[in-house]
């Protein structure tokens, strides 16, 4: 049974989400603030985190940053604020999805199911490949650069694997949204650009003589290799 960590300071919302997730077959832990979330995360890492942004003492953005320092655990952010600035800040910080309040509990469960499906959505063969000093194990979903493991969020990992499955081919934003964010994604394709930005930062020590992620203006992206 997969576990979900709900980080939400509004008791009523937390209880409703917990009830629906338990009904869907998940094990649920509820905490009201960031510090309690860190303690729960370290004692028993969950399969996914539902994270409210507006919390006392430590907001969701700060907590997301601290989680991303040590883990690529999927995170869906929840907020009463629907501004594009918050949405981009969450995605740029490594969130895997973003939902605005008020929301329908059934949709939250559907989003949780969708995010947790992504790691095994493709790449189920026994495949490994070297791109110079960059090593990719598609089966284990592990990436190493110069012998050191590269940590990426599940969604960013899926984007990189999608590109690496098609070296030197152009992948459009529409393809990436359809395959990684799924067909019903209603956000901006800016999310693709932010994901590519994070991947490039993670691979900043990959020599350009061996390969790089190129932007094809007005078209999409390409993992170019020699």
Residue 95 is predicted with a pLDDT of 82
Residue 84 is predicted with a pLDDT of 67
- Residue 156: what are its φ and ψ, rounded to 5°? -65, -35
Distance between CA atoms of residues 10 and 192, nearest Å? 31
Residue 206 is predicted with a pLDDT of 92
* Entry pTM: 0.58
Question: What is the secondary structure of 166-212 as a DSSP string?
Answer: STT--EEHHHHIIIII-TT--S-THHHHHHHHHHHHHTTTS-TTTEE
Distance between CA atoms of residues 109 and 212, nearest Å? 37
Distance between CA atoms of residues 148 and 28, nearest Å? 33
Residue 101 is predicted with a pLDDT of 86
Q: Which residues of the chain have pLDDT under 50?
A: 119-126, 183
Q: Is 164 within 8 Å of 135 (Cβ atoms)?
A: no
Q: Is 110 within 8 Å of 133 (Cβ atoms)?
A: no
Residue 225 is predicted with a pLDDT of 87
């Amino acid at each position: 049974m997969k576990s979900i960590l709900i980080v939400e300071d509004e008791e009523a919302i937390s209880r409703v989400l917990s009830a629906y997730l338990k009904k869907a077959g998940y094990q649920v832990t509820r905490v009201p603030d960031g510090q309690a979330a860190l303690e729960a995360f370290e004692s028993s890492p969950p399969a996914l985190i539902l994270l409210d942004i507006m919390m006392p003492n430590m907001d969701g953005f700060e907590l997301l940053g601290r989680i991303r320092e040590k883990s690529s655990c999927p995170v869906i952010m929840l907020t009463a604020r629907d501004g594009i600035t918050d949405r981009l800040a969450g995605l740029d910080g490594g969130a895997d999805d973003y939902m605005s309040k008020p929301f329908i509990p059934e949709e939250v469960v559907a989003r949780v199911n969708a995010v947790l499906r992504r790691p095994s959505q493709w790449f189920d063969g026994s495949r490994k490949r070297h791109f110079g000093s960059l090593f990719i194990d598609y089966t284990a979903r592990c990436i190493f650069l110069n012998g050191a493991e590269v940590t990426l969020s599940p969604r960013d990992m899926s984007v990189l694997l999608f590109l690496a499955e098609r070296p030197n081919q152009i992948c459009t934003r529409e393809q990436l949204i359809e395959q990684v964010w799924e067909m019903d994604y209603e956000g901006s394709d800016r999310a693709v650009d932010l994901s590519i930005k994070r991947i490039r930062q993670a691979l900043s020590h990959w020599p350009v003589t061996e390969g790089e992620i190129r932007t094809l203006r007005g078209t999409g992206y390409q993992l170019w290799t020699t």
